[in-house]
Amino acid sequence: MLKAIVDWLESRTGLESAVKRFLYEDIPKSSGWHQVLGSVALFGFLLQAFTGVLLAFNYAPTPGEAYNSLKYITTELTGGRVIRNLHHWGASLMVIVVVLHMIQVFVWGAYKKPREATWMAGVTLLLLTLAFGLTGYLLPWDNKAYWGTVVTAQIAASAPLLGEYVQRLLGSDPSIGVVTFARFYALHVLLLPPITTLLIVLHVFLVRRHGVAPKPGEVETKKFFPEQVFKDTLAIFVVFAALVVVSIALDAPLGRLADPTDTSYIPRPEWYFLFLFQTLKFFEGSLEIIGSVVLPTLAILALFLVPFLDRGSAAPVKRRLGAIGVVLVAIAGWGGLTAAAILSTPPGAEGVSAAGVETWQELSPEELAGIGYFRKENCVSCHPLGREGTGPDLTRSAITRSAAWMIEHFKQPAQMVPGSSMPPIQLTNAQLNALAAFLLKLNERNAQALHSAPQFAVDGALIYQQFRCGACHKVNGAGTAVGPSLTGLASRRTAEWVEGHFADPQKYSPGTVMPPYRFNQRDMHRIVTWLMQLP
């Protein structure tokens, strides 16, 4: 029966003979482990496509909701954390493997006649791999993604003649927003995958048409199956196993929600673009176009023209000292620039994993101060969390009243709810408003903040509210942008600097309108420690 099915498929589709032609193709006898990188790169693309589809089932492709859906995927969805980590670290794997494959082909001289088109298809696939990383960078919609894309858009806008049109095409004119997000998402999900698939098919077809490049003068061959198939399969297994280990051990970063007003944020690209980021530092002002457009364009053109620049006859690897030297210089330059960029990155500038941020760290100062008043008034004695008490469980009973009603209820409980045994709360209107702000946001998920928020953080938020710091600064999106955002302050300043700035603002920020604050030692420690804990 099985033979009959196979025969039917063969007569209708030619599938059996096609598989046999693929597996039993002749390849040079010298083929071995150095030929596995192409198969590993193909596997990496398929893995990215598979994990991308799984993520898409729960991903919301709109700004803001994209961030929340990623937090849901990584913290609540079964297997979601590992799937996202596989997709994130798999992107880095793709870049590494594709670049190593290009280096191997370059050093072996496998781009020479008649394989020029094969090489150019490979260069295009490398550019598409980088394009995937560039367009996917914005999709988490955290601060790192937002400000990194702002820099990308500015670089695109600097291109002579075409800059304005490219910026408009990216939807970044005048700023990064919904249109930019939609276009990056469309490129990443709808346009790049089919283009890459077609290029991969073309690349494999060309490799099969012209064959794997043999050693110079080599005429002996062997079959692709079983020896080379085994080596390719084993290499794929080892790489995938390593990727799984990394995905279990290391979480893909997810910082706080994108804040377009946080102009103090220091953006950093993914590691494989850090060399370009560092290169831009050598070209300032009117020379910036050299580092952002001219040099990258020349490098890409040089890659495409390699088969036409090196038209000499094939030579053994040991005699290709020029090619080896070019690779070593390129690696040294890339490594040096990347290392310099990493060393110049402020601590904490890369953001943190969403799983590593505690609930209380994401609350606004007013909401965190509300926890302090909740504790001070011992509200938990009547409203225990997770069960009914004298009063209702506030984490399970949806609060449908307004903040104004709640404030009046705090002042006159019996009048607002006849028969209530709750005593009046003796706090100012501003303090009652803070308590209402926290309770209105309270649910089963963030209720742990009532217990987990350290007292220094609560006290720091109370001091912050008492001195109305929110009139000039933003924390977790709350406040105004007269002064710099204080979210992520630890990535930019030390605790000693912040203490000195509180005591003498003019010394640290000449011309500032901020007055000096003569906190006592305890209060200074509390507010500074809390600010330095903001993710």
| Gap between the Cα atoms of 204 and 86, Å rounded | 25
- Which of 24, 266, 252 minimizes the C-alpha distance to 139? 252
One-letter amino acid of 428: T
Could you give the domains of the chain?
Answer: 24-270 (1.20.810.10), 370-442 (1.10.760.10), 454-535 (1.10.760.10)
Report residue 103 as tokens: 């280096």
| Gap between the Cα atoms of 290 and 288, Å rounded | 5
DSSP-based three-state secondary structure for 62 = coil
- Three state DSSP letters for 149-168: HHHHHHHHHCCCCCHHHHHH
CA 278 to chain centre: 19
Q: Would the pTM of this model clear 0.75, i.e. be above it? A: no
DSSP-based three-state secondary structure for 411 = helix
Burial of 378 from C-beta contacts in 10 A (0-12 / 13-18 / 19+): exposed
Which pLDDT score, from 0 to 100, does residue 443 have?
Answer: 66
- Which of 270, 243, 247 minimizes the C-alpha distance to 83? 247
Within 13 A of 15's CA, how many CA atoms are on the CB side? 7
Which pLDDT score, from 0 to 100, does residue 305 have?
Answer: 96
Query: CB of 116 within 8 A of CB of 336?
Result: no
* Beta strand 221-223 pairing with 26-28: antiparallel
| Gap between the Cα atoms of 358 and 356, Å rounded | 6
| Gap between the Cα atoms of 331 and 264, Å rounded | 33
For the chain, helix (H) and strand (E) counts, in that order, are: 24, 4
Peptide bond into 226 cis (omega under 30): yes
Peptide bond into 515 cis (omega under 30): no
| Gap between the Cα atoms of 374 and 438, Å rounded | 9
- Which of 300, 272, 259, 253 minimizes the C-alpha distance to 150? 259
- Supply the DSSP string of 327-342, one letter for each residue: HHHHHHHHHHHHHHHH
- Which of 235, 294, 183 minimizes the C-alpha distance to 40? 235
| Gap between the Cα atoms of 524 and 459, Å rounded | 10
Which pLDDT score, from 0 to 100, does residue 286 have?
Answer: 82
Which pLDDT score, from 0 to 100, does residue 352 have?
Answer: 44
DSSP-based three-state secondary structure for 221 = strand
| Gap between the Cα atoms of 56 and 77, Å rounded | 13
Which pLDDT score, from 0 to 100, does residue 357 have?
Answer: 67
Per-residue pLDDT of the chain (535 residues; tens, 9 = 90+): 999 998 999 899 998 898 888 888 989 998 899 899 999 999 999 999 999 999 999 999 988 788 888 988 998 899 999 999 999 999 999 999 999 999 999 999 999 999 999 999 999 999 999 999 999 999 998 888 998 898 888 888 888 888 888 888 888 877 888 899 999 999 999 999 999 999 999 999 999 999 999 988 888 999 999 999 999 999 999 999 999 999 999 999 888 778 776 666 778 889 999 999 899 889 888 888 899 899 999 999 999 999 999 988 888 989 999 999 999 999 999 999 999 988 877 654 444 444 456 778 888 898 888 888 888 888 877 777 666 667 777 766 556 677 788 888 888 888 888 877 788 888 888 888 888 887 777 766 666 666 677 888 889 999 999 999 999 999 988 888 888 889 888 778 888 889 999 999 999 888 899 999 989 988 998 899 889 888 7
Which pLDDT score, from 0 to 100, does residue 175 have?
Answer: 80
Query: CB of 454 within 8 A of CB of 465?
Result: no
Which pLDDT score, from 0 to 100, does residue 367 have?
Answer: 84
Which pLDDT score, from 0 to 100, does residue 347 have?
Answer: 53
